[in-house]
C-alpha cells in the first residue's frame, strides 16, 4: 500500500447522497497526493452497492486522489473510525462525517499547521454550522486553553479534528467502540488528560450540517446508557455533561419539527434516565422553541456569539500571560 502524508476518513451509513457531497468537498481541495478512506459502517445491501459505485466514480473523476472503500462491521461510528485509522496509510488524519463538508483550503491550512510542529497530537479548527431549513450559518470556535478545556471541553465536532497518527499510536489512543455517542468528546478528554499537545486555529474550515437526517436530530431523549461508560472513566461529573447533552438533543429535535414528545413526556424520560428534572434553562428554551424555532435560533445565535467571545478572550489572555 502506498504511503501518504494525509488520510481523510469518512464513516458513512445509508446516506449515499450526503456522502457524495462530503466526498466532493474533499475532491476539490488544493492539496497533492492524499488518500480518502470511505468506511461503510454496516449499510444496507442496497446502499452498500451505491456507496461502492460512488467510490468508483470518484476514482475515475479524481485520479490524483487515492479513494478506498472499507467495510466495517462495528456497531457504531466510533468503531468505523477506528477501522479507518487501522486501514489508513497517512501520517496525519482528518475525520469528516458523511453529512459535513470541508471548506476551501481546509486541508492545506491544517496540514501546514501540523507539519510545522511534529509534537502536535491534535489540531482543531473553527467552522460554520448550517441549520436547516432556517437561514442560519453560525460560526463556531473556542480557542484552546488547557485549563478551560479540562474544566469543560469546548471543542467542536469530529469533522473539525485532525490528528498525528504516530503520536496516537504511541499513546494507544482510539475511539471507544462501546460509545454510541460522544466518542469524540471522550477521545479529546483522554488527549488532554495525557498532557499531549493540542492547538486550535480560528479559520472556518468545515461546514457542519444540522438537519433532520443528522444523527443528533434522529435521537430521542432515551437510551443514554453510554453515560455509564463516561462516568466510570471520568467521574460522576460526566452525568451532568450527558444530561445537558440530552436536553440539547430534545431542543434540536423541536427546532426541526420532529420532536413528538410533550414537555411532560420529556421530563419523565429525563427522570427515568438521569433521576433529574429539566433545568430552568431547558424549560425556557423549550417554551421559546415551541412558540417559534426561528426566534429561538436568533436568540441562540446571539447567546453563542457572546459566550464564544467571552471564553475566547479568557483563553487568549491566559495564553499571553
Q: Which residues, other chains included, contact 278 with Cβ-Cβ below 8 Å and sequence gap of 6+?
A: 247, 263, 266, 267, 270, 286
Q: Are residues 186 and 277 in the same domain?
A: no
Q: Are residues 144 and 177 in the same domain?
A: yes
Percent of the chain past pLDDT 70, that is, above it, reads 92
Q: Are residues 263 and 126 in the same domain?
A: no
Residue 223 confidence class, pLDDT cut points 50, 70, 90:
low
Q: What share of the chain is helix, strand, coil (3-state, %, to 5)?
A: 50, 20, 30
Q: Which of these three, 176, 210, 244, is where a domain ends?
A: 210
9 vs 48: which has the higher pLDDT: 9
Q: How many CB atoms lie within 10 A of CB 219?
A: 18
Q: Are residues 148 and 227 in the same domain?
A: no
Mean pLDDT of 287-308: 93
Q: Which of these three, 188, 210, 232, is where a domain ends?
A: 210
Q: Do residues 77 and 39 lie in contact, with contact meaning Cβ atoms separated by under 8 Å? A: no
Residue 156 confidence class, pLDDT cut points 50, 70, 90:
low
Domain tally for the chain?
2
Q: Are residues 248 and 169 in the same domain?
A: no
Among the residue ranges 195-199, 225-229, 285-289, the one predicted with the least confidence is 225-229
Asked if pLDDT for residue 152 goes beyond 70, the answer is no
Q: Which of these three, 180, 210, 240, is where a domain ends?
A: 210
Check residue 147 and give its pLDDT.
73
Work out the end-to-end distance of the chain between its first and last CA atoms, rounded to an integer number of angstroms. Answer: 47
Residue 239 confidence class, pLDDT cut points 50, 70, 90:
confident
Check residue 36 and give its pLDDT.
98
User: In degrees, to the nearest 5, what angle opens at C-alpha 312 toward C-alphas 308 and 315?
Assistant: 145
Q: Are residues 300 and 181 in the same domain?
A: no
110 vs 238: which has the higher pLDDT: 110
Phi, psi torsion values for 234, nearest 5 degrees: -115, -5
Q: Are residues 31 and 112 in the same domain?
A: yes
Q: Do residues 11 and 41 lie in contact, with contact meaning Cβ atoms separated by under 8 Å? A: yes
Among the residue ranges 30-44, 103-117, 225-239, the one predicted with the least confidence is 225-239
Q: Are residues 41 and 176 in the same domain?
A: yes
Q: Are residues 72 and 194 in the same domain?
A: yes
DSSP letters for 12-64: ESS-HHHHHHHHHHHHT-S-SS-EEEEEEES--HHHHHHHHHHHHHHHHH-TT
Q: Are residues 201 and 232 in the same domain?
A: no
Q: Are residues 226 and 164 in the same domain?
A: no
Asked if pLDDT for residue 20 goes beyond 50, the answer is yes
Q: Are residues 79 and 197 in the same domain?
A: yes
Q: Which helix (H) or strand (E) holds 83?
A: helix 77-87
Here the CATH number for the domain that contains residue 85 is: 3.90.550.10
Asked if pLDDT for residue 220 goes beyond 60, the answer is no
Residue 240 structural domain: 219-320
Amino acid at each position: 500500500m502506498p504511503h501518504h502524508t494525509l488520510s481523510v476518513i469518512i464513516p458513512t451509513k445509508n446516506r449515499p447522497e450526503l456522502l457524495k457531497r462530503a466526498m466532493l468537498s474533499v475532491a476539490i481541495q488544493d492539496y497533492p497526493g492524499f488518500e480518502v478512506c470511505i468506511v461503510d459502517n454496516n449499510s444496507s445491501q442496497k446502499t452498500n452497492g451505491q456507496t461502492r459505485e460512488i467510490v468508483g466514480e470518484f476514482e475515475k473523476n479524481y485520479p490524483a486522489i487515492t479513494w478506498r472503500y472499507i467495510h466495517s462491521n462495528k456497531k457504531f461510528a466510533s468503531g468505523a473510525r477506528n477501522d479507518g485509522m487501522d486501514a489508513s496509510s497517512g501520517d496525519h488524519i482528518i475525520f469528516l462525517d458523511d453529512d459535513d463538508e470541508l471548506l476551501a483550503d481546509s486541508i492545506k491550512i491544517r496540514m501546514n499547521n501540523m507539519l510545522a510542529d511534529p509534537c502536535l497530537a491534535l489540531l482543531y479548527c473553527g467552522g460554520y454550522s448550517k441549520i436547516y431549513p432556517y437561514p442560519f450559518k453560525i460560526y463556531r470556535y473556542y480557542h484552546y486553553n488547557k485549563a478551560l478545556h479540562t474544566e469543560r471541553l469546548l471543542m467542536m465536532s469530529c469533522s473539525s479534528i485532525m490528528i498525528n497518527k504516530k503520536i496516537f499510536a504511541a499513546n494507544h489512543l482510539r475511539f471507544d467502540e462501546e460509545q454510541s455517542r460522544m466518542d469524540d468528546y471522550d477521545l479529546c478528554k483522554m488527549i488532554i488528560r495525557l498532557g499531549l499537545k493540542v492547538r486550535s486555529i480560528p479559520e472556518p474550515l468545515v461546514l457542519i450540517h444540522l438537519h433532520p437526517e443528522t444523527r443528533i436530530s434522529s435521537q430521542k431523549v432515551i437510551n443514554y446508557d453510554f453515560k455509564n461508560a463516561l462516568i466510570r472513566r471520568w467521574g460522576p461529573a460526566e452525568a451532568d455533561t450527558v444530561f445537558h447533552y440530552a436536553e440539547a438533543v430534545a431542543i434540536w429535535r423541536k427546532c426541526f419539527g420532529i420532536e413528538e414528545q410533550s414537555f411532560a413526556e420529556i421530563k419523565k424520560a429525563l427522570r427515568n434516565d438521569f433521576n433529574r428534572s429539566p433545568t430552568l434553562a431547558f424549560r425556557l428554551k423549550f417554551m421559546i422553541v415551541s412558540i417559534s424555532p426561528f426566534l429561538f435560533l436568533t436568540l441562540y445565535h446571539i447567546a453563542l456569539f457572546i459566550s464564544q467571545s467571552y471564553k475566547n478572550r479568557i483563553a487568549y489572555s491566559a495564553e499571553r500571560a
